[in-house]
């Protein structure tokens, strides 16, 4: 509530007083009407004069002090002046806050770039200047995709993905500097692009990958030699030394396991190091699954498992044949490994609404729900003992996840302990083709 008193009672009393004075003078002079008319004209003139003062003051805009006047007009001038001062204070406070925010963002070691609707650069901080080489004022208003020329980045910025996803790119200023870029939408059609220098992390990660790949590669030859020797000894020694049969069988079994491990590690390293995006080719998945099912039946024959196959023969996938074979075989052989005797394994490749779904359902041991989120981590095992008995490397699902990820497909797992598991993925319409049509094309 305003503590100012209302000027109206005083104004009205003054007005009534003036009318009375003019009326009295007019009565004394015998010209009441003329006197009141003159008084009204005077009052109008005074109002006009004050309006002119107000208009000039507002138009001029430079003078901070209001024009001097009395009565109601004085109050109006002072009121407007008070409003202006309040507005000025608020603007100053906002400017101070804005400067503080800018100083804070400028002090950040990470780059921050504010983008408008179509990716036009609006503002950037000091770190972004260094990491992206932005220059003022030339780059203001430019589209960020024109400055960071990278096909993956153009797609990333166009797709408007969620803020959790990021992209890793070399800096346009220095190819050896690796940047992690994240884009966060905010406000009305604005986006904040955060840029982080992850060169050290990237190098460490590359060292780790190189190390694993090199060690696996180096182990390959000695392992092949040991396996060969164990087989030769296994064929000859037991006849002279029967007690060596079991140790030799164990050596052979373990070296074979190590060989599988090395092969899986090499496959994972290759998938991780693959920088180039996939060059998709037509993969005849129905035929591939036919072969896989025969292998699975042979593997599960002892356990009397039933393996069924239900495929839509018309549909082929677009991708890399050997990678997909590796992923699908890991899922099928896992089902065989983790399904007890007399169990059932159903393999499907079925089209629905233009997409095609691959599914491996088993009536096996199942997986407790709390293990599911970590299942595709390397060497993660639900039951270490069982996995070791079945000869698993603990890398199968990690390979599956990588391969499917490279094909833009996500692995889904549903499982219930004691009832069985379903491992599935859906190839979207863009990743499948009509096998018959491609056959006709290749024959033409
Ligand atoms: P492994 O070589 O040990 O099988 P994977 O990466 O292929 O490694 O699988 C990880 C773990 O997931 C396995 O150790 C196993 O416990 C569990 N698992 C995978 N597939 C199945 C399945 N079909 N049924 C039950 N458990 C499974």
Element (H, E) at 184: strand 178-186
Report the atom number in ligand 1 closest to the C-alpha of 391: 2
Say whether pLDDT at 214 is over 90: yes
pLDDT class of 143 with cuts at 50, 70, 90: very high
Give 11 Cα–ligand 1 centroid separation in angstroms: 92
pLDDT class of 440 with cuts at 50, 70, 90: low
- Tell me if 273 sits within 8 A of 211, measured CB to CB: no
Which of 62-71, 281-290, 356-365, 433-442 is the least confident region? 433-442
Other Cβ atoms less than 10 A from the Cβ of 89: the count is: 10
Q: Among 119, 118, 139, which Cα is nearest to 129's?
A: 139
Q: Please name the CATH architecture into which domain 281-440 falls.
A: 2-Layer Sandwich (3.30)
* Cβ of 329 less than 6 Å from ligand 1: no
Nearest CA to ligand 1 atom 21: 334
Pocket probe mutation, ligand 1, options 376, 396, 417, max atoms within 8 Å of Cβ: 396
Mean pLDDT score, 131-159: 89
Q: Please name the CATH architecture into which domain 201-273 falls.
A: Orthogonal Bundle (1.10)
* Cβ of 421 less than 6 Å from ligand 1: yes
Report the atom number in ligand 1 closest to the C-alpha of 366: 25
pLDDT class of 238 with cuts at 50, 70, 90: confident
* Cβ of 420 less than 6 Å from ligand 1: no
Give 208 Cα–ligand 1 centroid separation in angstroms: 25
Residue with tokens 């400028």: 106
* Cβ of 335 less than 6 Å from ligand 1: yes
Say whether pLDDT at 1 is over 50: no
pLDDT class of 246 with cuts at 50, 70, 90: confident
- Domain boundaries, given as residue ranges, for the chain: 8-102, 109-197, 201-273, 281-440
* Cβ of 394 less than 6 Å from ligand 1: yes
Give 373 Cα–ligand 1 centroid separation in angstroms: 13
Element (H, E) at 359: strand 355-362
Contacts (Cβ under 8 Å, ≥6 apart) of 170:
176, 177, 178, 179
Give 368 Cα–ligand 1 centroid separation in angstroms: 12
Give 334 Cα–ligand 1 centroid separation in angstroms: 6
* Cβ of 372 less than 6 Å from ligand 1: no
* Cβ of 327 less than 6 Å from ligand 1: no
Nearest CA to ligand 1 atom 11: 381
**Partners of residue 352 on adjacent β-strands:** 355
**Phi, psi dihedral angles at 346 (to 5 degrees):** -115, 125
Helix (H, G, I), strand (E, B) or coil at 325: helix
Alpha-carbon gap, residue 67 to 78, rounded angstroms = 9
In this prediction, residue 6 carries a pLDDT of 84
pLDDT tens sequence across 279-328:
889 999 999 999 999 999 998 877 889 999 999 999 999 999 999 999 99
* Cβ of 383 less than 6 Å from ligand 1: yes
* Cβ of 347 less than 6 Å from ligand 1: no
Q: Among 373, 437, 371, 363, which Cα is nearest to 411's?
A: 373
Strand order in the sheet with 306-311: 306-311, 344-352, 355-362, 420-427, 412-416
* CATH fold label, 109-197: Beta-Lactamase (3.30.450)
* Cβ of 387 less than 6 Å from ligand 1: yes
Give 381 Cα–ligand 1 centroid separation in angstroms: 6
* Cβ of 363 less than 6 Å from ligand 1: no
Pocket probe mutation, ligand 1, options 258, 370, 387, max atoms within 8 Å of Cβ: 387
8-state DSSP, 68:
P
Task: Count how many residues are written for the chain.
Answer: 444
Give 358 Cα–ligand 1 centroid separation in angstroms: 18
pLDDT tens sequence across 87-121:
999 999 999 999 999 899 999 999 999 999 889 99
Nearest CA to ligand 1 atom 14: 381
Helix%, strand%, coil% for the chain, nearest 5: 55, 20, 25
What mean pLDDT value characterizes the chain? Answer: 90
Nearest CA to ligand 1 atom 17: 382
pTM given for the model: 0.68
């Amino acid at each position: 509530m305003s503590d100012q008193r209302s000027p109206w009672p005083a104004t009205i009393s003054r007005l009534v007083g003036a009318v009375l004075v003019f009326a009295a003078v007019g009565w004394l002079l015998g010209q009441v009407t003329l006197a009141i008319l003159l008084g009204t004209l005077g009052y109008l003139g005074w109002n006009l004069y004050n309006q002119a003062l107000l208009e000039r003051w507002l138009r001029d805009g430079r003078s901070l002090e209001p024009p001097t006047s009395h009565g109601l007009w004085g109050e109006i001038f002072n009121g407007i002046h008070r409003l202006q001062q309040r507005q000025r204070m608020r603007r100053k406070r906002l400017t101070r806050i804005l400067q503080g925010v800018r100083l804070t963002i400028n002090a950040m070691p990470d780059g921050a770039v504010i983008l408008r609707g179509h990716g036009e650069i609006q503002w950037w901080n000091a770190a972004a200047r260094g990491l992206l080489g932005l220059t003022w004022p030339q780059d203001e208003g430019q589209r960020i995709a024109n400055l960071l020329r990278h096909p993956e980045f153009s797609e990333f910025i166009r797709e408007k993905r969620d803020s959790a996803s990021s992209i890793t790119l070399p800096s346009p200023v220095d190819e050896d500097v690796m940047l992690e870029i994240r884009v966060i939408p905010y406000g009305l059609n604005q986006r904040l692009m955060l840029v982080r220098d992850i060169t050290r992390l990237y190098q460490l990660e590359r060292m780790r990958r190189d190390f694993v790949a090199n060690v696996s590669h180096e182990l390959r030859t000695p392992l092949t030699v040991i396996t060969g020797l164990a087989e030769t000894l296994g064929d000859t020694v037991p006849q002279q030394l029967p007690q060596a049969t079991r140790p030799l069988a164990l050596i052979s079994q373990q070296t074979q396991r190590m060989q599988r491990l090395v092969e899986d590690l090499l496959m994972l390293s290759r998938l991780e190091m693959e920088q180039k995006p996939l060059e998709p080719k037509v993969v005849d998945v129905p035929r591939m699954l036919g072969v896989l099912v025969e292998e699975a039946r042979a593997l599960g024959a002892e356990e009397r498992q039933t393996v069924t196959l239900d495929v839509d023969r018309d549909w082929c996938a677009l991708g890399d044949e050997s990678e997909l074979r590796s992923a699908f075989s890991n899922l099928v052989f896992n089902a065989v490994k983790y399904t007890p005797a007399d169990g059932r394994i159903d393999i499907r490749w079925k089209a629905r609404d233009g997409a095609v779904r691959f599914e491996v359902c088993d009536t096996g041991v199942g997986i407790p729900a709390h293990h599911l989120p970590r299942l595709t981590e390397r060497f993660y095992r639900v039951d270490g003992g069982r996995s070791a008995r079945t000869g698993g490397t603990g890398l199968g699902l990690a390979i599956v996840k990588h391969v499917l990820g490279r094909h833009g497909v996500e692995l889904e797992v549903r499982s219930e302990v004691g009832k069985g598991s379903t491992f599935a993925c859906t190839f979207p319409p863009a990743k499948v083709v009509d096998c018959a049509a491609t056959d006709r094309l290749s024959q033409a």
